[in-house]
Amino acid sequence: MKGNTCFNLLFRNSQKWQLQLLLLLLIPLSQFANSTQLDSLETRLTTHPRDTAALSMYIYSIINARGKDMALAEEIGKKAIKFAKKSGAQLHLSNAYNMAAITLSQLEKTDEAMELYQKAITILKEQNSRDELSKIYVNIGSLYLQSKNHLQAEPWLLKAKKNMGTKTYDPVLNNNLALIYSHKGEYPKAIKIYQELLDQPDSLKSLRSEALAHNNMGYTFQQMNQHRTALSHYRKANQIISQTTYNLEKGYLLMSLIDGLVHNKLYLEANQMLDSLQVIARASNAPNQISEMHRTLAGVYQEQGKDKEALNQYVLYMTMNDSLQKEDQNMKIAELQSKLEVAERDAEIEMMARENELEVAKSNQQRYYIWIMAGGLLILGIVLVLLIINM
């Protein structure tokens, strides 16, 4: 009974990790500014808004920030959009929208991310940029996958594939399609796609995409109850990602590995990794990952009979999860309140305008009556004068 309870607690949202990991593949293979360059880039763009080289570097600095501090990445994304608007460079603006939207996707701010993707699509259609448009379609597919809406995700992915043709191999597109096959229970198709990605030359894949392919393949084998094979892929994924400096990826991949260890009843090794998970997750400054970390700790502790520790971690998970939901609800409430306030102000202005119109009409009517009365009195006076003269 204890084991079943643990698995309900630890793995009921394990698919969520895989969906989060797919979003990490959206990062292009590019060079970007480090944190020490941000201030100088912002100064440069403030004084020279049309410096597209500086703008490109600033936009791609979101990648560096995303791997270390999600709050910082979100802030840079907002600034990048402002700088891109001032530059007048439409393709750079669409790229800023895209990069900022990826960050919002990872923070599970779905509505905000979708709004930015739609703005990017509008620009790219006007610019007739077919390749970049395909990437946005893939990203939107990933966004719907993260929200577990596979029915809406698949059309966007197929649209991207049709738009790309055969000239480009896109690891994100293929990973997403493989994930959909996994959810449909078409595991051989999914595994084939992951293996094709791993067999690609280094020029078409990065350490990140290779690590995530191993991780997602492990997840597929785990769905097939082939837990030893799954664990071997999880280990390979963590070995590869350890060569990078991205805490967000490391955190999610380590959760997958701990997941695999518990499925294989290797509790001691799983327990040894919990401290590392806490350090990595907290360093990412990503609320959703920290929340998932608490849930993972709770599950592992409970499986080992450490009920007190498990309860403490589960309370932290529930508290933080509620806080995240409340924050999202508060943002939506604030948005609605803002719209209502604007509507009320508009209604008040319209009412005042109507009152002014009525006052003007009333005043005009009064003047009209006065002129009529004055005219009548004048005519009456003339008539009386004529009568007196005739008498």
Q: Report pLDDT digits (tens) over 41-64.
A: 888 899 999 998 889 889 988 887
User: If you search the block for the tokens 């509008």, which residue do you land on?
Assistant: 122
C-alpha angle with apex 34: 32 to 35, nearest 5 degrees? 135
Q: Report pLDDT digits (tens) over 261-276.
A: 999 999 889 888 888 8
What is the residue-averaged pLDDT of the chain? 79
Domains of the chain: 2-281 (1.25.40.10)
Q: Report pLDDT digits (tens) over 364-381.
A: 677 766 777 766 666 766
Is it the case that residue 15 has pLDDT exceeding 60?
Answer: no
Is it the case that residue 161 has pLDDT exceeding 80?
Answer: yes
pLDDT band at 323 (very low <50, low <70, confident <90, very high): low
- The encoded tokens of residue 210 equal 């290779």
Q: Report pLDDT digits (tens) over 65-106.
A: 776 778 888 999 999 999 999 999 999 999 999 999 999 988
Can you give the three-state secondary structure of the chain, one letter per residue?
CHHHHHHHHHHCCHHHHHHHHHHHCCCCCCCCCCHHHHHHHHHHHHHCCCCHHHHHHHHHHHHHHHCCCHHHHHHHHHHHHHHHHHHCCHHHHHHHHHHHHHHHHHCCCHHHHHHHHHHHHHHHHHHCCHHHHHHHHHHHHHHHHHCCCHHHHHHHHHHHHHHHCCCCCCHHHHHHHHHHHHHCCCHHHHHHHHHHHHCCCHHHCCHHHHHHHHHHHHHHHHHCCCHHHHHHHHHHHHHHHCCCCCHHHHHHHHHHHHHHHHHCCCHHHHHHCHHHHHHHHHHHCCHHHHHHHHHHHHHHHHHCCCHHHHHHHHHHHHHHHHHHHHHHHHHHHHHHHHHHHHHHHHHHHHHHHHHHHHHHHHHHHHHHHHHHHHHHHHHHHHHHHHHHHHC
Calculate the alpha carbon distances from 65 to 76, 169, 228, 277 in Å. 8, 27, 35, 20
Q: Report pLDDT digits (tens) over 347-369.
A: 667 777 677 777 766 776 777 66
pTM recorded for the entire structure: 0.62
